Amino acid sequence: MVDVHIDGGEQFADLARRLHAAAGRDVIPRAIAEAVAGTDHAQRAVEAGATRLPTRGGLAARVAHTQVMVRVVHGTSGLRVRFIAMANAVRDPQAINRGRVRHPVYGRWTQQPLIQLVPAGFFTDSIKGIFPKLRATAERALADVARRI
């Protein structure tokens, strides 16, 4: 946490110029870079989370290959980072994360969908597990910028 004491309008204007200069050049690109660097941690966490799913039939192995995409949105309200499971290895990673898998019967897709219940949260629980590490990395980046101001 940064503690600032301001006496007068000149100090306020000087602080505002310094904050604007630092934020405009460094804060957002550095935070985005830190979030993208967190993708490797997230990918390993999803691979570990997939071990909770059934291995018979290869579901766990296929889900472990699910790619993780990072979406960073920044605006006046701040910076928001989202981790998204891509549908590259399985059809619907969101449904699997909710605990439901739709699959064929004897190699055929039927009219009536066959839904198998699996342990929910392979993705969200895995990402929540690495959240403290990602937050610490982002805080270090912001502390570096604050030190330079």
Residue type, 98: R
The set of residues, in sequence order, having a beta carbon less than 8 Å from that of 60 and lying 6+ positions away, is 50, 51, 52, 53, 54
Residue 4 belongs to some domain of the structure: no
Q: Is residue 23 part of a domain?
A: yes
Domain residues for the domain of 52 are 9-148
pLDDT digits (tens, 9 = 90+) for 82-130: 888 898 888 889 999 999 998 888 888 888 878 889 999 989 998 888 8
User: Does residue 50 fall inside a structural domain?
Assistant: yes
Domains contained in the chain, number? 1
For the chain, the residue count is: 149
Q: What pTM does this model have?
A: 0.68
Tens of pLDDT, residue by residue over 60-82, are 999 999 988 888 777 777 667 78
